[in-house]
Amino acid sequence: MFVIQLLAVVVVSGCLTLALWLETSLSAQERATQLSLAVTNTLARDPTVIAAVQGPDPTTALESYTLTVSRATGVDFITIMSPRGIRFTHPDPAQIGRHFLGTISAAQRGRTITETFTGTLGPSVRAVVPIESGGRVVGIVSAGVTLDRVAASLAPRIPLVFALAVVLVLIGSLAAVLARRFLRRVTGSMSPAELTRMVAYYQSVLHSVQEGLILADTRGRVVLYNDEAAELLELPPATDDLRPIATAELHLPDSIAALLVSGARAVEEVHVAGDRVLVVNQEPATPAGDARQAPVGTFMTLRDRTEVQRLSGELASVRTLSEALRAQTHEHANRLHTIVSLLELGRTEQAIELIGQQVEVSQSLADELLGAVGEPALAALLLGKVAQAAERGITLEVDLGEGVAAAPLSAAELVSVVGNLVDNALDAAAAGSPPAWVRVTARGIGDRQELSVEDSGAGPEPRVADRIFDRGVTTKPADERGRGIGLALARGIVESHHGALRVETAPHTRFVAEWPTPGRPG
């Protein structure tokens, strides 16, 4: 293994040395190009040159001048020519009067170019610039540096490059030795095969447990999760890729994402994820064997409590119905006592009149609800809530219009949603100023059903109005346990059927639930 590491160091050092040499060579060529461009641009704007190329004998006027500039600037040649490319100057006098070897078409159109071209002095890096006067090209100037000279400029750097290569090899070898010692200290005597087998065991355990597991780093980014977590949170299939993923990329529920980012400890917390109710625990992830080490992140477990919560919701619905029936029983007992007293006092006609009034009111409300509500359980709930509200001194008005289409909500889901909204409204109205009232309204809008619950209460405070549907947020006393879950569950139920639940705070608090009703006429 060490020999392989050493060989890798040598190969990498060689590649780095080659890359450095190529970079140095390209840099030298770039400097030669910039030098050529600077010289040609200067000469093209020199009034002496502009006048000479338009004079009767440009060669006599410019030859010695260009040789002086060439020696002073370090370029190998400066050639000044006519617009057709006939040389006026050249380091080799024999080339004067001949056509320039290179590209001049761009310069003839007034453009500047740089190129590598093989001319009379061999391959060279050169610039070709037009000489202009009065808006027309009166000549062309080219200057360049031969590639031989460029290569010669690199010779002094060769020892430095090789020295750097040797240093890289030495540093790489030292790093390989230190890495070998570190791996031995971390893995002990375990061989690569044993490490592979151990990782395979851990992976099998991770993906076989029946609880969702999520491992996050210290920045709250998800590093690892198992198949159960992917199913519970509707994440992409779990992989062995340990690349940290931001919670926003995974579209986690807001409450779970916030818990992961915070890194806080959580014990048996209830979170709503879509149509699921999850029990969440989170602990710091500390390396085994040394409790003094800082946590490397957090470890979260998820258990599905959706079915348990559904049964709890059904039980709550039954409890709500029983309380409503208790209120009705109490109210009917009072009326019965009144009727008995009237009969004992001999006021038979008044007793009959009272019985008729109560029967007419109760039967009218029952007939209205049963006719408008296709679900008997919801009708029974609303009948009970009317009696319960009357017992608390609250007027509960029910206007169901053309009726309530429960589908696709089940009876238990519909009772849970309406029961939570009405209970909250009754509590708010009771805490407000008289007269206290609650209004339940339903209407069909196209292929959607809308049901609203409005109350005369003061409404939620501004600090909680925007978070009223979040788990744990409540407007009721903080010492009441179990608060802050009803509206979150109601919203979860409605949204699981592609519906929505919103709150309006003006002029009165009004909760509006809507859901699609397939088959309803639009």
Rg of the chain over all Cα atoms, to the nearest angstrom: 44
Q: What is the pLDDT of residue 111?
A: 92
* Distances in whole angstroms, Cα of residue 414 to Cα of each of 314, 445, 518: 10, 18, 16
Per-residue pLDDT of the chain (522 residues; tens, 9 = 90+): 555 655 665 666 666 566 655 566 666 678 888 888 898 899 999 898 999 889 889 998 898 888 999 888 888 889 999 999 999 999 888 889 899 988 899 999 999 998 888 888 888 888 999 999 888 999 999 998 887 776 665 556 666 656 766 677 677 777 777 777 776 766 666 667 777 777 777 777 777 787 888 888 888 888 888 888 888 888 888 776 668 888 888 888 888 888 988 888 998 888 878 777 788 999 988 776 555 677 888 989 998 876 666 666 566 556 666 666 666 666 666 667 777 777 777 778 777 776 666 655 554 555 555 554 556 777 777 777 887 788 788 898 888 776 676 667 777 788 888 888 988 899 889 988 889 999 998 888 888 888 899 999 888 777 766 777 776 566 655 444 445 567 877 888 888 888 898 888 878 889 999 988 875 544
The answer to whether 285 touches 300, Cβ cutoff 8 Å, is no
Say which amino acid occupies 498. H
| Number of neighbouring beta carbons within 10 Å of residue 248 | 10
DSSP characters over 441-504: EEEEETTEEEEEEEESS----HHHHTTTTSTT--SS-TTSTT-S-HHHHHHHHHHHTT-EEEEE
The answer to whether 400 touches 373, Cβ cutoff 8 Å, is yes
The continuous run of DSSP H or E covering 339 comes out as: helix 306-344
Give the residue carrying structure tokens 């008044």: 350
CA–CA separation, 500 vs 417, rounded Å? 12
| Number of neighbouring beta carbons within 10 Å of residue 36 | 26
Paired tokens of 378:
């919801």
CA–CA separation, 229 vs 205, rounded Å? 14
Paired tokens of 420:
């939570």
CA–CA separation, 419 vs 411, rounded Å? 12
Rounded to two decimals, what is the model's pTM? 0.43
CA–CA separation, 88 vs 62, rounded Å? 8
The answer to whether 40 touches 127, Cβ cutoff 8 Å, is yes
Report helix angle 411-431 to 306-344, nearest 10: 60
Question: Which domains are present in the chain?
Answer: 2-155 (3.30.450.20), 210-304 (3.30.450.20), 309-516 (3.30.565.10)
Paired tokens of 410:
């089940």
Q: What is the pLDDT of residue 522?
A: 44
CA–CA separation, 486 vs 490, rounded Å? 6
